[in-house]
Amino acid sequence: MSDSSSYRVCIVGLGSMGMGAALSCARAGLATSGIDLDAGRRDAFAAAGAEAVAGSVAGLAGEFDAFLVLVVNAAQARQVILGEAGIAARVKPGGAIMVSCTQSAEDARALGREIEALGLLMLDAPVSGGAAKAAQGHMTVMASGPDAAFDKLAPVLQAVASKTYRIGPEIGQGATVKVIHQLLAGVHIAVGAEAMALAARAGIPLDTMYDVVTNAAGNSWMFENRMKHVVEGDYTPTSAVDIFVKDLGLVTETGRALGFPLPLASTAFAMFQQASNMGHGREDDSAVIKTFSGITLPEGGKP
């Protein structure tokens, strides 16, 4: 493993999680570059001390010890890693790629086989924690892969995560744990929206209902975080409805592949699909509450 003074890492995707990861790597003393299509994000990271930023790997010089790929889905990950001018060609021999999108286990395994065939290491390492924890270097990483990949990526993991779970040696195990986690996250948001919608129908002030739940046994992290957006009437996206259409779609596909019934996940999936179909796909995922008719919701922020 290289020491931090010579270790070069590049973060692909400077979104809410990727920016936090990039800043955390830079704070840890790693020579950190960033790739993002959005010029504003590139400028923000450059101003915060990036070694370099670009819209693609072609705009960066040299090779890297590691890449951390924080894009939306498996198709994007495959494209940025193995596509034309993909990052795989810029990994040092024996280097590693940490793939942190939410994807199916089969997609992760297929990607892992192709990366391994290039003589590189892959860590199947989805993340969680939200933008605030990412900015603090306190993400939770649920990772699987060979010991050599964990060793090579140790400086990155130490920089971005307060908790790294070594799920197992097989690529795809990390992806599966993330899918199961997203089952819980999506159902918690959906049932939180249902509870708040019922309160609205009953004439209970939503700020009062929110305060009761967040100080009682029915609370969850997702309720406390997302239903605050409903109370404030602000659906500016931190994680959009369409993200959970994708993720709960992966959940239901996983259930079918294993021949396992997932009645609550299937219902939540249908709710998010309905919200997207109603035109709320790019709003915050708490906008799933807008699928309920006959209620009046607070108005405040965007949109």
Which residues are identified as catalytic? 178
- Quickly tell me which residue has 């509450």 as its tokens: 289
- Which tokens sit at 279? 């035109």
Residue 1: closest CA among 121, 203, 117, 153: 153
- Which tokens sit at 131? 């933008």
Give the number of C-alpha atoms closer than 13 A to the C-alpha of residue 60, restricted to the C-beta side.
Answer: 31
> Where are the extended beta strands (E) located within the chain?
8-12, 31-35, 52-54, 64-69, 91-99, 121-124, 127-128, 139-144, 161-168
Residue 273: closest CA among 297, 292, 248: 248
DSSP string, 21-42: HHHHHHHTT-EEEEE-S-HHHH
Positive or negative, the Cα torsion across 149, 154, 155, 161?
A: positive
Residue 122's contacts (CB-CB under 8 Å, 6 or more residues apart) are: 96, 97, 98, 99, 111, 112, 115, 116, 145, 149, 171
Q: Which amino acid is at 152?
A: K
Q: Which amino acid is at 4?
A: S
Return the bridge partners of 69, or none. 12, 99
Residue 185: closest CA among 243, 138, 107: 243
